[in-house]
């Protein structure tokens, strides 16, 4: 089923809003604030790592959408977030630079999604451990990913993270 154009526009606007929402949540933290590196839960990213992860993950979303639009039912991998974080240096990333990269990459991603022809929104890809998804399903997944990390950020800032969620 194709995602209706008004619903697509609404969901893409929500994707556009995540970097601003994250920036608003983090606005009280200076670049050297120790809160960036607090780890209230041992199996979850710090705030510094969250922002670096979101900026880095835009490259994965971009690849997923591009491959879904261009290939016949591609199989999309699900990288291990912790392993990728270690390899990409999330723990030492500058949070101000990461947030700027996240804003830029997200704007580019949503612009490319808005430019997709209607027929591309009907294509499917197989995402490991999830199943077959259209670009609309991938948008929903990206929004869920955003929401998870926005909630995590809000919980950390309130000094009361939920337990047992793991990294994503």
pLDDT per residue as tens digits for the range 99-145: 999 999 999 999 999 999 999 999 999 999 999 999 999 999 999 99
Give me the domains of the chain, ranges plus CATH numbers.
5-26+35-157 (1.20.120.450)
Helical H runs in 27-94? 47-70, 81-88
User: In the numeric block, which tokens belong to residue 41?
Assistant: 């839960």
Q: Rounded CA gap, 70 and 120, in Å?
A: 8
Instruction: Identify the pLDDT of residue 41.
Output: 87
Measure the CA–CA gap between 91 and 36, rounded to whole angstroms. Answer: 9
53-104 pLDDT, tens digit per residue, is 999 999 999 999 999 999 999 999 999 999 999 999 999 999 999 999 999 9
3-state SS, residue 32: coil
Cβ atoms of 82 and 19 closer than 8 Å: no
pTM for the structure as a whole: 0.92
CB 117 within 8 A of CB 22: no
pLDDT, tens digit (0-9, with 9 covering 90-100), for 147-157? 999 999 999 99
């Amino acid at each position: 089923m194709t995602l209706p154009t008004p619903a697509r526009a609404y969901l893409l606007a929500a994707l556009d809003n995540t970097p601003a929402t994250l920036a608003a949540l983090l606005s009280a933290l200076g670049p050297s604030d120790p809160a960036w590196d607090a780890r209230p839960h041992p199996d979850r990213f710090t705030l510094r790592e969250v922002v670096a992860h979101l900026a880095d993950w835009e490259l994965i979303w971009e690849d997923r959408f591009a491959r879904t639009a261009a290939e016949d039912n591609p199989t999309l991998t699900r990288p291990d977030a912790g392993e990728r974080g270690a390899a990409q240096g999330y723990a030492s990333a500058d949070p101000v630079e990461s947030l700027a990269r996240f804003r830029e990459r997200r704007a580019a991603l949503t612009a490319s999604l808005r430019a997709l022809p209607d027929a591309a929104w009907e294509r499917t890809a197989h995402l490991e451990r999830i199943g077959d998804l259209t670009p609309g399903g991938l948008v929903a997944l990206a929004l869920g990913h955003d929401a998870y990390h926005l909630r995590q950020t809000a919980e950390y800032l309130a000094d009361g993270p939920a337990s047992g969620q793991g990294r994503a």
